[in-house]
Structure 1
């Protein structure tokens, strides 16, 4: 049996931009992606700590060490610059593998740098 499990998380990143007139997605600093083991085009869930919004989108790689966390397209309506969000990815694996899986969690600082 295959099950979907929590793979990784960027916990409490700060939104730096919201670009409504852009093809929908989230642009993330490449260093954050690497730290959380998230790849370009991967589906992620966004949880907005400020307003409770939850939605899914996909990741676009941003400039390394830029601190970029930019919601694009319709997702830009669900955040404000400065909001704190949690970015979660999930993986599909067999139940036995899931029992020993350890998710990767990173905690960026107030400038979206890995502490």
Structure 2
């Protein structure tokens, strides 16, 4: 049996930009992507702490070290610059394997930087 479980989480980052007239997605600082074990085009769920909105989209790689978290396209209507969001990725795996799997969780600073 396959189940869907948490794979990766970027906990509490700030939206730095919202680009309505863009194809769609979320742009994430490459350093945050690497630390959270996310890859470009991976499906993610975005949970907005400020307004309760939840949405699904895919990841675009942003400039490393920039702290960039940008909602693009229609997703831009779901948050404002400065809103705090959680970015979540899930995966499917065998039920028994899932019992011991450890997700990658990161907790960036207030300015979307990795804690050294």
What are the ranges of 5 or more consecutive residues in structure 1 without an aligned counterpart? Answer: none
Q: Report runs of 4+ in structure 1 exceeding 2 Å deviation.
A: none
**What is the match of residue 82 of structure 1?**
82
1:110 deviates by: 1.2
Q: Deviations over 1:48-71 (max 9, x none)?
A: 000000010000000000000000
Give the structure-2-normalised TM-score: 0.98
Task: Give, in whole Å, the separation in 2 of the partners of 1:42 and 1:97.
Answer: 21
Task: Give, in whole Å, the separation in 2 of the partners of 1:110 and 1:50.
Answer: 15
What are the ranges of 5 or more consecutive residues in structure 2 without an aligned counterpart? Answer: none
**What is the match of residue 102 of structure 1?**
102
Task: Give, in whole Å, the separation in 1 of the partners of 2:38 and 2:92.
Answer: 14
Task: Give, in whole Å, the separation in 1 of the partners of 2:32 and 2:22.
Answer: 21
RMSD: 0.4
Task: Give, in whole Å, the separation in 1 of the partners of 2:96 and 2:30.
Answer: 31
**What is the match of residue 46 of structure 1?**
46
Q: Deviations over 1:9-57 (max 9, x none)?
A: 0000000000000011000000000000010000000000000000100
The count of corresponding residues between Structure 1 and Structure 2 is 115
Q: Does 1:32 align with 2:39?
A: no
Q: Does 1:59 align with 2:59?
A: yes
Task: Give, in whole Å, the separation in 1 of the partners of 2:47 and 2:76.
Answer: 13
Give the structure-1-normalised TM-score: 0.99
1:108 deviates by: 0.7
